[in-house]
Amino acid sequence: MSRALGVFGGTFDPIHLGHLRAAESAREALLLDQVTFVPARHPPHRQDPLSSARDRYAMVALATMGHPQFDVSDVELEREGPSFTVDTVKALRDAHTEDRLVLIVGSDTFPEMGTWKDHEVLESCCTIAVVGRPPENEQPKSPPRHVGAPSAAAVVNHVDGPPFAISSTAIRRRVREGRSIRYLVPDAVADYIRKRGLYR
């Protein structure tokens, strides 16, 4: 029986409640049977994460363990070189040949997708769910196209995202400054960051 599987990649350095709410919004709006979080080993369009790939994988596993339709994949951690989304989606498609894949991206990332490796191949392997970020949730559902945006042939669904703004950058800064991150990340993630001494 065919299922609809969401694929949500990112550095997750660290994962926070905004990530989880974005995934849940996409799951609910698009009737996804499962959402797989995919921590990047070497994100090709960003600086290297401050915490290790294994630490970020562990935090995502802790954050998602209580949701029966969320899981985490180490497909990018096991692959050498840059973590290109097209390679990940093709690997997941090969593992789930009967299922429909939906790539979940933020509205900040969507305009850059046309610059990604083999973006036309990527668009042929999955549909795209664009999750709004505050305050963009109250803007029109079809943002203007930018240079580098996916092709007109891409199948794109726009989803309202979380009504609150949280960023991994701000969370790392709060940890560095000795400030609380409770209620910005799951409790298990906050405990893991403290015990591992991350972002100090």
Beta-sheet strands, E only, within 32-167: 34-39, 70-72, 100-106, 127-131, 156-159
Task: Convert the pLDDT of each residue in 127-181 to its tens digit.
Answer: 999 999 775 444 434 443 444 555 555 788 999 888 788 999 999 999 999 999 9
What are the chain's domains? 4-196 (3.40.50.620)
User: What pLDDT sits at residue 136?
Assistant: 47
Task: Convert the pLDDT of each residue in 12-24 to its tens digit.
Answer: 999 999 999 999 9
Instruction: Say how far apart CA 190 and CA 186 lie, in whole Å.
Output: 6
The pLDDT of residue 186 is above 60:
yes
| Range 37-41 average pLDDT | 96
Q: Is 104 helix (H, G, I), strand (E, B) or coil?
A: strand
Question: Nearest-CA neighbor of 73 among 52, 95, 51?
Answer: 95
Task: Convert the pLDDT of each residue in 75-84 to its tens digit.
Answer: 999 888 889 9
User: What pLDDT sits at residue 144?
Assistant: 39
Q: What is the mean pLDDT of the chain?
A: 89
Task: Convert the pLDDT of each residue in 44-54 to its tens digit.
Answer: 877 889 999 99
User: What pLDDT sits at residue 44?
Assistant: 85
User: What pLDDT sits at residue 80?
Assistant: 86
| Range 33-47 average pLDDT | 91
What are the φ and ψ backbone dihedral angles of 17, each rounded to 5 degrees? Answer: -65, -25
The model carries a pTM of: 0.89
Q: How many CB atoms lie within 10 A of CB 85?
A: 26
